[in-house]
Amino acid sequence: MQKTIRRGPSLPGRPAGLRPGWLAGGILAVLVALVAGVAFGPVSLPPGSVAVELLNLIPGVRLDSGLTEREIAIVTELRLPRAVLGLLVGGLLALAGGCYQGVFRNPLADPHLLGVAAGAGLAVTVVIVLRPAGGDGDPLAGLPVTVPLAAFVGATGAVLMTYLLGAAGGRDRSPATLILAGVAVSAFLAAGQTYLLQQDAESIQQVYSWLLGRLATAGWHDVLLVLPYAALTAVVVLLHRRELDVLSVGDQEAASLGLHPQRSRLLLVAAASLGTAAAVSVSGLIGFVGIIVPHAVRLLAGSSYRSILPLAMLFGGAFLTLTDVVARTAAAPAEIPIGVVTAFFGAPFFVLVLRSAKRVLT
């Protein structure tokens, strides 16, 4: 019986467990992305000096980085929080994407599948349309708490609607039923958002500024806001990643092996949706991370979710942080919305997923 569980979801000739080499590679990618995210920007700093200054944050370590007091302030108060936020958001989106792909047995599933994007977008649109008039500069600067809170409530509410709709036909909450329910909920909420924007055309620019994705942060507030949800999501999903390998053989086979498919699916979807809602609440809608990273890990490191999920979290954080560097520097001093950059990389990769999905998961 144990041999069936280990071999079922694995690619031929590849070990099911997480190999130390890939884990070390993921950690190295995170460290490289962290240094790059802090070193590069409108004011470039020497990567070596930045790495030394980051080491100085370790208690008991005091090295001479050669940076001025102004440059140290840029590192610790401006760029480091943004880079850490990119690691958290990218890790959550990639982890949720890999989890959804396992739950729904669909390589095209991503964190927006269950209406998360539509729910968050509608809630933020409502907040912006109803905001007090006035204010210059960043159109969302006057709503530092309301916008993330609204996005979180809207995203989680949409997931709840999707699950209730998927269960309306009976006790059988199959992956296909949940996907169809997510499509229906997304269409309904997107229609409501479009209606509001037509009624208040002045809000279109502000809404799209959020919808295109952003990691702009002043200080550690957003990082501290997301961190508890990121920790909870990571713990729950990673502790149950073996169950995704069992679910991949089908509900009947999983039940015969002692697993409760519906209960496991509900727990994993709830945890992944919570993490996605938290990420969306501070970053806006950033697409393709949940498809690109888990699928790339699957192609390179094997098809077992014991490997896919932890590696997706590490490489997802590194990917989004490096993407943010491109967004900040490619058209400097202007900043490209990070969602545009991820779409630039994601669209060609999506074609690869479409071509290889059947070969990888059948």
Better-scored residue on pLDDT, 149 or 217: 149
Res. 1: pLDDT tops 60: no
Q: What is the pLDDT of residues 52-87, one digit of tens each?
A: 999 999 988 888 888 999 999 999 998 999 999 999
Give me the pLDDT at residue 211, please. Answer: 80
**Predicted pLDDT at 345:** 84
Residue 166 confidence (pLDDT)? 79
pLDDT at 16: 55
Q: Is the per-residue pLDDT at 234 higher than 90?
A: yes
Nearest CA to 312 among 16, 12, 4, 26? 26
Is the pLDDT assigned to residue 354 strictly greater than 80?
no
- Is pLDDT above 80 for 5? no
The fold for domain 2-361 equals ABC transporter involved in vitamin B12 uptake, BtuC (1.10.3470)
With tokens 């959550």, the residue in question is: 92
The answer to which of 166-170, 272-276, 290-294 has the lowest mean pLDDT is: 166-170
Let me know: does 270 contact 77? Beta carbons within 8 Å. Answer: no
Helix, coil or strand: residue 96: helix
Between residues 31 and 153, the one the model is more confident about:
31
Domain positions in the chain: 2-361
Please check the confidence at residue 237 and state whether its pLDDT lies above 80: yes
The answer on pLDDT for 11 being more than 50 is no
Instruction: Tell me how far apart the alpha carbons of residues 151 and 103 are, in angstroms, rounded to a whole number.
Output: 24
| Half-sphere exposure (Cβ direction) of 359: Cα atoms closer than 13 Å | 8
Round to the nearest angstrom and report the end-to-end CA distance of the chain.
21
Evaluate if residue 213 carries a pLDDT over 90. no
Higher pLDDT, 30 or 147: 30
Res 205 pLDDT > 80: no
Contact 215, 88 (CB under 8 A): no
pLDDT band at residue 3 under the 50/70/90 scheme? very low
Q: Where residue 108 falls among pLDDT bands split at 50, 70, 90?
A: confident
Top pLDDT among 322 and 198 is at 322
